[in-house]
Amino acid sequence: MKHKIRRPFGWVSKQLGAKLGIGIITIVPFAATVWILYEIFTRIDGLLQPVIKAIWGSTIPGAGFAATLVLILLIGFIASNVVGKRLIHYAESAIPGMPLFHQIYSGIKQILESFSPAAGTGSMRAVIIEFPRKGMKAIGFVTNELCDESGKKLFCVFIPNAPNPTSGGFMEIVEESEIVRTSISIENAFKTIFSAGKVVPQEVVNCLFASEKPKAGE
C-alpha cells in the first residue's frame, strides 16, 4: 500500500503565495488611492507656492492647495453675479480671434458645462444597450439627449473601455427603444468596469437579468 508523501515545502509555498495574493489585493487599492490623492494634492499645492514664497520668503506645505481652493471659490462667486458675467462675456468675445485657443477652450468648457448640476443632462445615467452586436450587452452612460422638432429623441451613450475607462471607449447614438434604463449607481457601474467584470455588484446583476427581452412566441 502506497502512502502519499506530503511535501512540506510545496504546502508552505502554496500558503505563502495565497497570503501574498491576499496582501496585494488588500494593500494595492489603498496604496493607489493614497498615491492618486497625494499627486492631486501636491500638483494643486504647487500652483501658488511661488507666490507664497515671494510673499512669505519660503514655501508653506498645504498653503498653495488652500489658496488655490479659495481662489477658485472667489472666481465662482464673481462669475455668478451680474458684473462677473459681463466681464466673462467680454473676455470670451475676444477668444474667437484666437484659432487654436478657441477650439480648445470651447471644447473644454462645453464638456464641463454638460456635467454641471445646472445642466439639464448634467448627471450621467447608467444604462444597458446591446453592444457591439445584437445579443451582447454593455453598460454605458447617457451623456446627452438629442431631440428634433417632432419630439423624437436620440441618446448619446458612452461605453468606456474596461478595465481602464481613461483609455477611451465608444460613443454610440441610439434611439430610446435601444436603451434599457436602470437603477445602477455610477459607483457600481464603474466597479464592474474597473474590475473587468471580476466584481459585479448584485444591483448590476439584477438589472442585467431584468433587461432580458422575451423572445417572440414566449
114 Cα distance to chain centroid: 14
Q: Is the torsion defined by CA of 173, 176, 180, 186 positive or negative?
A: positive
Q: Which domains does the chain have, with CATH numbers?
A: 12-93 (no CATH), 125-210 (2.30.30)
Question: Which residue did the predictor score with more confidence, 4 or 161?
Answer: 161
Q: How many helices (H) and strands (E) does the chain have?
A: 7, 5
- CA end-to-end span of the chain, whole Å? 60
45's CB contacts (< 8 A; 6+ apart) are: 61, 62, 63, 64, 65, 68
The answer to whether 169 and 129 have CB atoms below 8 angstroms apart is no
Please give the Cα distance from 86 to 93 (Å, whole number): 10
Please give the backbone phi and psi of residue 119, each rounded to the nearest 5 degrees, phi first.
Answer: -80, 145
For 203-215, the pLDDT digits (tens) are 999 998 987 755 4
Rg (CA), the chain: 26
The answer to whether 153 and 173 have CB atoms below 8 angstroms apart is no
The answer to whether 160 and 192 have CB atoms below 8 angstroms apart is no
| Side chain identity, residue 51 | V
Answer whether 0.75 is exceeded by the pTM: no
What is the band of 218 on the pLDDT scale with cuts at 50, 70, 90?
A: very low
What is the band of 121 on the pLDDT scale with cuts at 50, 70, 90?
A: very low
Q: Is residue 118 scored above 60 in pLDDT? A: no
For 130-171, the pLDDT digits (tens) are 999 888 999 999 988 898 888 889 999 999 988 887 778 899
For 10-69, the pLDDT digits (tens) are 666 777 777 888 888 888 888 888 898 899 899 989 988 888 888 888 888 888 889 999
Looking at the chain, the whole-number percentage of residues with pLDDT higher than 90 is: 23
Take residue 56 and report the three cell numbers written for it. 512669505
Looking at the chain, the whole-number percentage of residues with pLDDT higher than 70 is: 86
Nearest 5°: CA angle at 122, between 187 and 76?
A: 105
Q: What is the DSSP code string of 116-172?
A: STTSTT-S-EEEEEE-SSTT-EEEEEEEEEEE-TT--EEEEEEEE-SS-GGG-EEEE
